[in-house]
Amino acid sequence: MAENEGQPEQRPQRPQDDERSDRRGFISATTLAVGGMACGYGMLFYCGGRYLYPANGGAVSHQFVCTVDQLRVGEAMPFTLPSGAKVVIARQAEEDTAESFIALSSVCPHLGCQVHWEAVNDRFFCPCHNGAFDASGAPIEGPPQKANQHLTRFPLLVQDNLLMIAVPMGSVEIAEAEEQG
């Protein structure tokens, strides 16, 4: 002890303040970056999921198509929804019920070409790649059959001899806004 009497006591050296602040800054920046990325990816997946898997159901409106008598068995007619989507409506049976009619998108799910009804062949035909769909919209030939791509089906309603198609309220509201604007 006599040796150290005149000298100040030596303590272990602490890291300089600059080193500590650099380490803290790095940890803070890393935490913020990881948190920001998590929020960003979370938002991306949320928005992407809503786009890829839209909510089913919701309010629908019934749009008048024609009277039941105007469409004979085996005939089809084009119809445009308020959203602008093209639909083919065909009568498949004599009864005056919704089950006697079918409403299918006239857009081929393969590449978006227009399909049309061939009463002689009892099918919907896409001329782009010789795709064909049966009367229920199921693929029977061409690329749609290989990919198992069906035509989109729209619900129908028959009430008081009137044929009506069910459309989402959102598309009706958008169409009305476009007409006013």
CA dihedral over 130, 133, 134, 135, signed as positive or negative = negative
Question: What pTM was computed for the model?
Answer: 0.60
pLDDT tens per residue, range 92-136:
899 999 999 999 999 999 888 998 888 888 888 999 889 999 988
pLDDT tens per residue, range 57-101:
567 889 999 999 999 998 889 999 888 888 989 898 999 999 999
| Nearest C-alpha neighbor of 96 from the set 118, 63, 69 | 69
Sheet strands side by side (includes 60-67): 60-67, 162-168, 156-159
Domains of the chain, by residue range, sit at 17-54, 60-180
| Nearest C-alpha neighbor of 93 from the set 128, 130, 135, 40 | 135
* CATH node for 60-180: 2.102.10.10
Pair 90, 98: CB distance under 8 Å: no
